[in-house]
Chains A and B, each alone.
Chain A
Amino acid sequence: MSDDELVVSTGSTDERVDPPLHGDEVAILRTFLTYHRETLRLKCAGLTQEQLAQQLPPSDISLGGLMKHLALVESQWFDYYFRDFPHAPPFDTMDWDADPDWEFDSARHDSPDELRALFDEAVARSDAVVDDALTRRGLDEESARVSPRTGETFTLRWILVHMIEEYSRHNGHADLIRESIDGQKGE
């Protein structure tokens, strides 16, 4: 898929592209991932800074925190693990040992536009990394860094499927949080 085929939601209208029912592996993985990135944008669209910081107790997750967390997750998988680059700013200078939930906690100080710009930049950078990798070994290409848990490398295939389930799980959080803010529901 080329960049100009990616649909970007600028507001709260649903412009998501459904994954092809019988596409090849690369096309279907990338469309599912794009679909879930779009879903998160939709779940965050049309809300104020205060609403994006709102929680559904007892959980302390907020929609703004989720958006900043997923910007970090994009950089963590595609920059840090896959190609052994530093995390993208502002995540490169954080002291994670001192403040492991920094992205969740600090998001409440960011405006909706800032959060969305950070997220969109992270997604664009990840897509460029994937585009580049696919000109080489494709989905079997292995990550430059290894899993701290198993010592193994990750294939690009694993990272893409993991990102789909990571986003889907967080979109499940977003479903309940958004419903509690203004009643908006929907897949």
Chain B
Amino acid sequence: MKTMRTLMSLAFLAAAALPALAEGPAIGAAAPVFDLKTIDGKDFSLASAEKSNSYVVLMFIATECPYSNAYNDRMRDMAASYAKKGVQFVGVNSNSTETVEEAVAHAKKHGHTFSIVKDSGNKVADLYDARRTPEVFVVGKDGKLVYHGRIDENYEDAAKVTSPDLKNALDSLLAGQPVAKAETKAFGCTIKRA
């Protein structure tokens, strides 16, 4: 299984070299695995994170995107809340315009204690066909993608959210229920590819 996923990941990476965006994994398909350094110098392996958690939430984030920044507190709070339920939140910074140092400063400023990896060369963004920030992908223990899309529908005001899509998905998954809306969309900043 791991060999197959590794081959799939390599195939996605090869496709990512093409000018067009690669096709990302569909809901229910294997999520491409990757190994990267966190912005504080630690090793991060998605395959290992899957094994040690019920679910892993990959969040493509930015330091300068107003849409991503609108979710800073929500990301911080959800990461802390769901860590207790066996869900690991991981930030992925794929923007070629943002340095590790800027990501470190941004995380410190906003109290982001969840792991954040620097995706130099936007290889992981290409593997997932991630287009914008913020954009989230939820991966299960079996390595399959179970949710893709937005955190919620109201970037402007967390108090007026009517469709907390990521929360709904995680709550359903943790309760052993199917996810009602496994694919959602919202406006966001384009990931600045190298």
A and B pair up = no
Interface residues of A (CB under 8 A from B): none
Interface residues of B (CB under 8 A from A): none
